[in-house]
């Protein structure tokens, strides 16, 4: 009878069948079989197109000396003459989640050669290498795999070759190679090639490479030369092609340059048949864990201008701009940069630049390579920086130093507001710059060991402008609190703030004072009395998913007082220089609903041969979700209600608008975020913002955003002390999942105040198991564009 299955480790004894039919033992280094497995799996680096996947796949099979290799087989024999071991029938060599199986394995211990055949399968987790035969020299690490097939779970790669050979330490050859990410015998797409030769960390060649769509050849090249590096590699990226009414035919071709391990760059060539060529550069670098940066620059000489003649404004400009803001320049560019790093004394430094040639540039290049939207998304993700809106002609450039302590913060900011229109027109620029602003703040904290608390804000500014007043300002503003709890019902907190502000103007001619003074000071105080309470109750809900809901009511009553003071002769740079007196009472009421649901207990899966103990109750864990919040508040201006001027009585409006803030997020199906202000005198909405999203489990989704601002004396910009400009816009975004693979979408945006359509877009996305196709059409008042992209998962995308 054959020998029974056995398990041994290195060094180990492999059972063999003796001449008498009994069992005897011979020592053998099973660790050598570990080298066999590592060797076979190193071949996967040849066929994996993504360097990151290759590295991760290779790491799965690295040696682990602490864990032994084990061998199992129906029959194991040893030939003393040739010093060869042979295992037959359900042969398994494994360690951890790595396992090699075959019908037969022969191991030549003297010459360190191994041969396996019959259903040869090598597994590591979910990754698989299989073949009909393997012949390997463990000393030279050379060998072949016949009818090889590699499956890599990352991106679902399937890689096959009639014969895969390792010719040298880093040289390979694959005969009749195929790669795809599609499952099945007839993949939707695949790439085939003959006589593939490659040197790892070098280059590879392939003959007769063809891209197939099922049985239909789509693209063919008789000879293909490509880099085969594990790390990032330089080369051309997928191009973008398109057509638009403003630019004509378009072609964008990026080239990626892997400079070294800590820096890279992408060069862009962008051809527009009606406008001319455009060049771009992205440079990214990491100096250390705490220092990184990115620089992006693009430039082109525009063949067209918007000088107001003929149809130039409708074709190459934007007709919603005033005539004085025409774009008459040919040289156009956009440079932006961020560099963030830690500096000595635990400070953080940030340099953010944003310089654009004209007010139309970002409106014209919003999408695609080097466009505004991908640039903004990149800086948000990598640097936490929000680029100014593409419609904003004033661009912020800044250098910042900051440090945060547990109770204090120091922020040193140099801010340069670049007004593109004024710079282009060559007029004297009166844009206010802060060079610098130093802000030092303290959080609310106990004062010594007594019942009092305090916080403070302090700020130094040097205001500079090319044309207009310039000067310095120091503003000190501490506040002292005395909170007191009235049993368990109320908290009353009186506080007083003391404010000292000083100015010094660069020149006496900038002064507003009658004596042309350059130095000024102002002393103010304000008081606040705040009364808070909290009422709550927990309701039992007859539901398995949400058994409890807590309703919390937070009433607040606040009185704020500051005496009025004549500040007309003080310098005026921003809103801090004009602080109006007030005597204001504000009532606020907040309702909050919070659900409490028990998490599903996840019991550990039992291990094989584990003795099952009596089940025990696991500690209960809960999820809390604040799914509803509504705040209502209104103020009453005592100062205005009882003002002494009798002629102004009919124009008095002591009741401030009723403000509402609503947030509904139940977790499923819909979400609402809204706020509004209602005038009790005009009996109408003054402003409102609504963001509504509805979705279902199938994948359908509808988003609606509406914004309204009326021109009213009750809505004032505190910075400019002027009524807000009226506006009303609506934006909708719809996604409909027609089938499991097909999704249609549409968006619409309109300026309701001026009755102008801003954008309309429609499209669809079809997503199969290993590829997708995206088609989109976007129509704007001055332009239209379309997009068609085919994405082969694991390979990349291309299209129009």
- Please classify residue 278 by burial: count the beta carbons closer than 10 Å to its beta carbon, then call 0-12 exposed, 13-18 middle and 19+ buried: buried
Q: Which residue has the tokens 């994996």?
A: 48
pLDDT tens per residue, range 608-661: 444 444 555 555 677 889 999 999 999 999 988 887 665 666 678 899 999 999
Lowest-pLDDT range of 46-50, 236-240, 697-701: 46-50
Given this model, what pLDDT does residue 221 score? Answer: 85
- Quick one: pLDDT band at residue 745, thresholds 50, 70, 90? very high
Per-residue b/e over 724-733, b at no fewer than 16 CB within 10 Å? beeebbbbeb
Cα distance between residue 562 and residue 41, in whole Å: 77
pLDDT for the residue 151: 84
HEC profile of 88-142: EEEEEEEECCEEEEEEEEEEECCCCEEEEEEEEEEEECCEEEEEEEEEEECCCCE
Q: Is the pLDDT of residue 1 over 70?
A: no
pTM over 0.75: no
pLDDT at 10 over 90: no
With cut-offs at 50, 70 and 90, classify the pLDDT of residue 604.
Answer: low
- Residue 758 pLDDT class (50, 70, 90 cuts): confident
Task: Quote the CA–CA distance of 661 and 591 in Å, as a whole number.
Answer: 11
Complete DSSP assignment for 393-419: SEEEEEEEEEEE-SSEEEEEEEEEEEE
Q: What is the pLDDT of residue 606?
A: 53
- C-alpha closest to that of 47 among 187, 247, 192, 212: 192
Instruction: Say what the pLDDT of residue 128 is.
Output: 84
CA distance 128 to 158: 10
The two tokens of residue 496 are 């007083």
Round to whole Å and give the CA distance between 752 and 747.
Answer: 16
- Sequence-distant (6+) residues with CB within 8 A of 66 are none
Instruction: Write out pLDDT tens, residues 313-351.
Output: 888 888 666 556 888 899 999 999 999 999 999 999 999
- Among the residue ranges 98-102, 261-265, 433-437, the one predicted with the least confidence is 98-102
**pLDDT tens by residue, 521-573:** 999 999 999 999 999 999 988 777 788 899 999 999 999 999 988 998 999 99
Residue from 540, 528, 536 nearest 553 by CA: 536
């Amino acid at each position: 009878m054959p020998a029974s299955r056995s398990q041994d480790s290195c060094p180990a004894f492999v059972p063999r069948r003796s001449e008498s039919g009994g069992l005897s033992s011979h020592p053998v280094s099973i660790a050598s079989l570990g080298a066999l497995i590592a060797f076979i799996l190193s071949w996967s680096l040849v066929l994996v197109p993504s360097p990151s996947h290759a590295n991760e796949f290779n790491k799965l099979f690295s040696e682990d000396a602490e864990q032994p290799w084990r061998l199992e087989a129906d029959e194991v024999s040893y030939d003393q003459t040739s010093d060869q071991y042979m295992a037959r029938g359900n042969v398994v060599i494994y360690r951890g989640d790595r396992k090699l199986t075959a019908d037969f394995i022969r191991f030549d211990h003297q010459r360190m050669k191994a041969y396996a055949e019959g259903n040869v399968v090598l597994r590591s987790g979910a990754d698989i290498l299989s073949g009909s035969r393997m012949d390997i020299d463990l000393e030279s690490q050379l060998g072949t795999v016949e009818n090889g097939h590699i499956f890599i779970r990352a991106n679902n790669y399937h890689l096959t070759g009639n014969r895969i050979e390792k010719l040298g330490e880093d040289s390979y050859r694959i005969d009749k190679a195929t790669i795809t990410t599609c499952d099945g015998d007839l993949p939707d797409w695949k790439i085939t090639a003959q006589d593939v030769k490659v040197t790892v960390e070098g280059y590879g060649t392939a003959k007769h490479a063809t891209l197939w769509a099922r049985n239909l050849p789509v693209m063919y090249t008789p000879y293909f030369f490509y880099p085969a590096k594990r790390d990032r590699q330089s080369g051309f990226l997928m191009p973008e092609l398109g057509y638009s009414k403003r630019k004509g035919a378009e072609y964008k071709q990026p080239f990626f340059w892997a400079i070294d391990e800590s820096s890279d760059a992408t060069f862009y060539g962008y051809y527009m048949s009606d406008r001319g060529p455009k060049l771009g550069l992205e440079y990214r670098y990491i100096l250390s864990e705490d220092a990184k940066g990115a620089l992006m620059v693009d430039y082109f000489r525009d063949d067209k201008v918007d000088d107001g003649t003929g149809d130039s404004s409708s074709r190459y400009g934007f007709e919603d701009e005033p005539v004085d803001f025409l774009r008459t320049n040919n040289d156009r560019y956009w440079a932006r940069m961020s560099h963030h790093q830690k500096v000595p004394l635990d400070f953080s430094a940030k340099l953010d630049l944003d310089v654009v040639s004209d007010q139309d540039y970002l409106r014209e290049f919003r999408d695609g390579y080097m466009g505004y939207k991908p640039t903004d998304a990149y800086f948000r993700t990598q640097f936490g920086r929000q680029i100014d809106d593409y419609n904003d002609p004033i661009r912020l450039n800044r250098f910042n130093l900051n440090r945060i302590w547990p109770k204090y913060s120091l922020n040193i900011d140099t801010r340069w507001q670049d007004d593109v229109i004024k710079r282009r027109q060559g007029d004297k620029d009166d844009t206010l710059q802060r060079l610098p602003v130093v802000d030092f703040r303290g959080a609310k904290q106990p004062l010594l060991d007594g019942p009092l608390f305090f916080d403070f804000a302090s700020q130094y500014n040097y205001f500079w402008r090319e044309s207009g007043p310039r000067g310095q300002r120091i503003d000190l503003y501490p506040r002292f609190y005395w909170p007191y709890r009235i049993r368990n019902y109320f908290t009353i907190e009186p506080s007083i703030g003391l404010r000292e502000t000083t100015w010094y103007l660069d020149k006496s001619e900038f002064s507003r004072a009658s004596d042309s003074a350059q130095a000024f000071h102002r002393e103010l105080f304000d008081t606040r009395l705040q009364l808070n309470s909290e009422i709550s109750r927990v309701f039992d809900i007859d539901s398995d998913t949400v058994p409890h809901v807590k309703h919390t009511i937070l009433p607040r009553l606040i009185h704020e007082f500051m005496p009025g003071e004549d500040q007309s002769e003080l310098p005026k740079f921003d809103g801090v220089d004009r602080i109006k007196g007030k005597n204001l009472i504000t009532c606020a009421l907040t309702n909050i609903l919070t659900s409490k649901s028990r998490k599903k207990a996840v019991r550990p899966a039992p291990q094989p041969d584990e003795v099952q103990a009596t089940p025990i109750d696991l500690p209960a864990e809960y999820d809390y979700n604040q799914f509803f919040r509504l705040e209502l508040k209104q103020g009453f201006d005592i100062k205005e209600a009882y003002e002494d001027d009798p002629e102004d009585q009919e124009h008095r409006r002591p009741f401030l608008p009723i403000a509402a803030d609503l947030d509904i997020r139940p977790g499923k199906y819909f979400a609402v975020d809204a706020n509004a202000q209602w005038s009790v005198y005009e009996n109408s909405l003054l402003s409102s913002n609504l963001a509504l999203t509805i979705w279902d489990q199938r994948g359908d989704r509808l988003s609606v955003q509406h914004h309204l601002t009326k021109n009213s004396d009750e809505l004032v910009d505190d910075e400019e002390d002027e009524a807000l400009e009226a506006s009303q816009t609506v934006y909708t975004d719809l996604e409909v999942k027609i089938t499991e693979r097909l999704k249609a979408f549409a968006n619409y945006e309109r300026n309701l105040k001026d009755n102008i359509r801003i954008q309309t877009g429609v499209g669809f996305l079809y997503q199969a198991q290993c590829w997708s196709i995206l088609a989109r059409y976007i129509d704007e008042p001055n332009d239209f564009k379309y997009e068609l992209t085919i994405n082969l998962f694991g390979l990349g995308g291309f299209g129009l």
